[in-house]
Amino acid sequence: MNWERQFGLSGKTVAVTGGASGIGRGCAEFLLGVGASVAVFDLDEVKGREFEATSGGKARFFRCNVADEASVKAAVEGALATFGGLYGFVHCAGVIRRKSAPDLEEKDWNLVVDVSLKGAYLMAKHVMPVLAQGGGGSVVLIGSGWGVKGGPTAVSYCAAKGGVVNLTRALAIDHGAQNIRVNCVCPGDVDTPLLRDEARQLGYDLDKWLAESAERPIHRLGTPEDIAKAVYFFLSDLSPWASGSILVIDGGGTA
C-alpha cells in the first residue's frame, strides 16, 4: 500500500484560521508536512508572512478577521484565486477572557463568541458552497475540553466552545449529502501563547500555572502537534466515515 498516496493530502488545499501561531500554526505546519497546501487566515501579518516565506511556496497568508463577513469572504476568494480550490478548512482562531459573568464586559463576551463561534459559522457560510461544488471535502472545528464540560471564570469561552461543539453536529447533518465531513477536535491545555496569556489575566505565576496545567493522567501539557495529528486524522481518508464526531485530546484531563 502506498501510504502517502492513500492517506496524504498532496494536491489539496486547506484553509487554517488562526494559522499564524499556536494550535493553528501547528496544524498548518503539519499539513505542509503531509503534502497539503495551506491558506493561512489570520490577523497577525508579521507571523503570517514569516510562515509564508518559510513554506517553500506551499503556504500563502491572507489577512482575515474571522468575525467580519466581508473579511472572511475576501480571504476565501483570495485563496481560491491563488490555489484554484479548497479541500476544507480548520477553524483554530480563538481568544479567551478569564472572567465570570458579573465581571465580564459585554465587549469581551462579544469578542470571544464572535471569534470562536461566529467565525466558524462565517467560514462555513463561505467555504461550504465551494466544497460542495468541488465534490466534497473535510472540515475540522477546534473546540475545547471546556466545550464539553464547564470551567471556572471563563463563561464566554465555555459558551463559545460549547456552541462550536454543537455547530459541528449541525453542519455534519446539513452537508453530509454533499460529501462534506465535519468534525471537532477539543484540546485540553496546550502550551501556546493563549494558555500563557491566561496566567497573565488571572495574575498567576507563569511557571506555577504551566506546572498545574500539566497535572493530568498523561503528565504534561499538550503541544500544537498533538492537536494537529488529530486534525489530520479527520481531514484525511483515515476517517472516511467520521462526521459529527467530537474528539477530546487532553492527556486524560476530562477522564
Catalytic residues: 157
What are the residues whose beta carbons fall under 8 Å from the beta carbon of 29, sequence distance 6 or more?
224, 225, 228
| Cell, residue 66 | 474571522
Q: Check if the beta carbon of residue 49 is closer than 8 Å to that of residue 251.
A: no
Q: Check if the beta carbon of residue 225 is closer than 8 Å to that of residue 30.
A: yes
Q: Report the distance separating Cα 114 and Cα 255, nearest Å.
A: 29
With H, G, I as helix, E, B as strand and everything else as coil, classify residue 84. coil
Q: Report the distance separating Cα 197 and Cα 201, nearest Å.
A: 6
Q: Report the distance separating Cα 103 and Cα 66, nearest Å.
A: 26
